[in-house]
Amino acid sequence: MTVETASEWKQNNYREPLAKGRLLKHEKLAKYTSWRVGGPADQLYIPQDRQDLIEFIKTLPNTEPIFWMGLGSNLLVRDGGIRGTVINTKGRLKQMNLSGDGLVYVEAGVPCAHVARFCGERGLIGAEFLAGIPGTMGGALKMNAGAFGGETWAIVNSVEMLNASGNVIGRKAQDFRVNYRSVEGFENEWFLSCLLTLQPGDTAESQQKIKTLLEKRGATQPTNQPSCGSVFKNPEGDYAARLIEQSGLKGYAIGGACVSEKHANFIVNTGKATAADIETLIRYVQDKVEQQQGVILQTEVCMVGVAL
């Protein structure tokens, strides 16, 4: 890992204005992903705040490939890493406040679990399910993340997008085509923040619901092992975990990657997995389920980067 000083960044990269965050060259991404695997990014930028991020994006050529990463869940970075620039928002873009009329402003880097607690503590209901999503609000917006029967875009009022030129654009929820674990929006625009619409309710009841959901998650999911969350989408009218278990794949391992004994729709890193181990196991599970159950499982996890 190489950390550039501000003067080195100014000399070696693009144009003014000089960004204030941290730029890391050839940074291995394994420590930034919940699976603990992944090769290096050409460069990784950790912005100081929202405005710094906007200024940094302006310094990049419009043709520069940009990839966004929050908590690194629902993500498999291949062993060859990612070409271009990776923006990491973990611990950044973390502003959240009440905007009136039941609206809650949330920046893209806020963990979903924090949103659930923030809303519950203020007597707003409808966001409790976010406690079960192990990612940031930006990731939840990108894939319409859901848990325990709730989905992100059901509570979205509007969003702020950041485009490749560094311009901020406001868009309404209806500007997007939203489906199960899928959101189609605008090319070369990324989620910067959102306004959520929630309803007034009982704080104690909301907090108890969050507690119950978290207890259920802990009892049914391998939360103490590196994973990405759910690997496969649930087929309509069925559950991926049931199909995988019925195919006899619980506990099946390739290299350091293993189908969880606790929840069959989770693949865990038992300690020395590579991204290639995990991807090979994903394909193996898909093949076996199709052969034995006649169902083609679609991946929920986002697989990116270059294979070795």
Please tell me which residue in 50, 181, 193, 206 is annotated as part of the active site: 181
Residues 58 and 133 occupy one common structural domain: no
Q: Which of 179, 200, 219 is the last residue in one of the domains?
A: 219
Q: Find the CATH number of the domain harbouring 28.
A: 3.30.43.10
Q: Give the chain's length.
A: 308
Q: Do 171 and 231 belong together in one domain?
A: no
My answer on whether 69 and 177 are in the same domain is no
Distance from C-alpha of 308 to C-alpha of 208, rounded to nearest angstrom: 47
267, 256 Cβ separation under 8 angstroms: no
Catalytic residue, candidates 73, 193, 230, 260: 230
User: Quick one: 239 and 201 in the same domain?
Assistant: no
Domain finish residue from 193, 219, 245: 219
Average pLDDT score over the chain: 93
For residue 257, the domain's CATH number is: 3.90.78.10
In total, how many domains does the chain have?
Answer: 3
19 — pLDDT class (breaks 50, 70, 90): low
| Residue 300 a catalytic site member | yes
- When pLDDT is averaged across residues 9-32 and rounded to a whole number, the result is 73
| Same domain, residue pair 166 and 105 | yes
The pTM (predicted TM-score) of the whole model is 0.89
User: Which position among 128, 160, 279, 300 bears the catalytic label?
Assistant: 300
Cα separation values, 262 from 34, 126, 171, 251, 265, Å = 18, 28, 40, 9, 9
Are 119 and 107 members of one domain?
yes
92 catalytic per annotation: no
Q: Are residues 121 and 17 in the same domain?
A: no
Structural domain of 195: 96-219
Q: Kindly state whether residues 82 and 134 are assigned to the same domain.
A: no
Same domain? 190 vs 109: yes
pLDDT at 101: 81
Question: Is residue 181 among the annotated active site residues?
Answer: yes
Residue 272, SS3? coil
pLDDT in tens, 49-70: 999 999 999 999 989 999 999 9
Of 199, 219, 239, the residue at which a domain comes to its end is 219
